[in-house]
Structure 1
Amino acid sequence: MTFATTDLCDDHPQLLDDGRLAILPPGYKHYGRQVTFSGRVTTLKVFEDNALVRSTLEAPGNGNVLVIDGGASMRRALVGGQLALLAQDNGWAGIVVDGCVRDSDEINACEIGVRALGVHPQKSAKKGVGERNIRVAIGGVFVQPGDWLYADADGVLIAQQKLA
């Protein structure tokens, strides 16, 4: 699928007006080889613990995008090079982290798209604390499992329906 987030916004002003299409705030940095990616959303809510991130990415991604509400923590990384490679190998289109990643050179070698607030060298805890497939808030934007995410160099969109 070829798209531009600018065109999607221009083509769907009514969805923007009524909230069925939302834009994540600027500030999410790009990692991975896929600058442009899209897919149906799977959600996680975790805080400085990535055990659920690993178990989710171990499952077939089927072209989906994992959206991780990490509480915008800048104190630990939730995704590193091993998890990005796992996501790539299991067919995930991308990952959006409301928090940090690490091993950025390794992530940048993977054929997926990743957005995150920044990088941090410290790994996360592995206690398995968190929730899967619930409504989350990323940068003030509500994201539901089954929504559609569209990301490119100009931004990240969350749509309640697949956009043509």
Structure 2
Amino acid sequence: MEFQTTDLCDANEGKVHAVAPMFRSFGGRPRFAGQVRTLKVFEDNALVRATLETPGEGKVLVVDAGGSLRCAMLGDQLALLGVKNGWAGVIMYGCIRDSGPIAGMDIGVFALATHPMKSVKKGAGDLDIPVTFGGVTFTPGQWLYADEDGVIVSDAPLL
């Protein structure tokens, strides 16, 4: 996929929202885009697994994990589920683990940091609701574009 978020911002001034610069790229795809699906969870990644087990159809899973730096919400097994099920990427407002293996996978993964501890698995959380972090509200069905310069969101496709 060929695009630059900088060019998309310039060409669509007033139509895109840029997320505050807080993420690091960990996946094998440093540039990815797709329609948004959302999760709101906290230190419990059971719904992350359940969602990545479904057909991704080139979408991006945006996870509001509360910005927690106390455990990982995505590891290599879940990232591999995302690859196998056709997800373009994951934006994790929290931590991941297994960053080495994830770097070799054909999926975009942006997260705040890495953490070796796993999360609990109780299944608490909400799917496909608006979530807000980094100065942007992410709504299911919006379009997300991520690359080396950052993450932007629009209500309509830009490519």
Give % identity.
Answer: 53
Alpha carbons 2:39, 2:126 under 8 Å: kept:
yes
Match of 2:114 in 1: 119
- Poorly superposed stretches of 4+, deviation over 2 Å: none
Match of 1:2 in 2: 2
Residue identity in the other structure for 1:85: L
Match of 2:57 in 1: 62
* TM-score after normalising by structure 1: 0.95
Q: Does 1:78 align with 2:73?
A: yes
Distance 2:123 2:59 in 1: 22
* TM-score after normalising by structure 2: 0.98
Distance 1:94 1:101 in 2: 13
Residue identity in the other structure for 1:88: V
1:141 Cα offset (Å): 1.0
1:140 Cα offset (Å): 2.5
CA RMSD of aligned residues (A): 0.8
Which whole-Å deviations, capped at 9, do the CAs of 1:41-68 have from their partners, x for residues lacking one? 0000000000000000000100000000
SS for the counterpart of 2:152 is strand
- Unaligned 5+ segments in structure 2 are none
Q: Does 1:149 align with 2:144?
A: yes
**Alignment map for 1:23-102 (pairs within 5 Å):** 23-102=18-97
Aligned pair count? 159
SS for the counterpart of 2:92 is strand
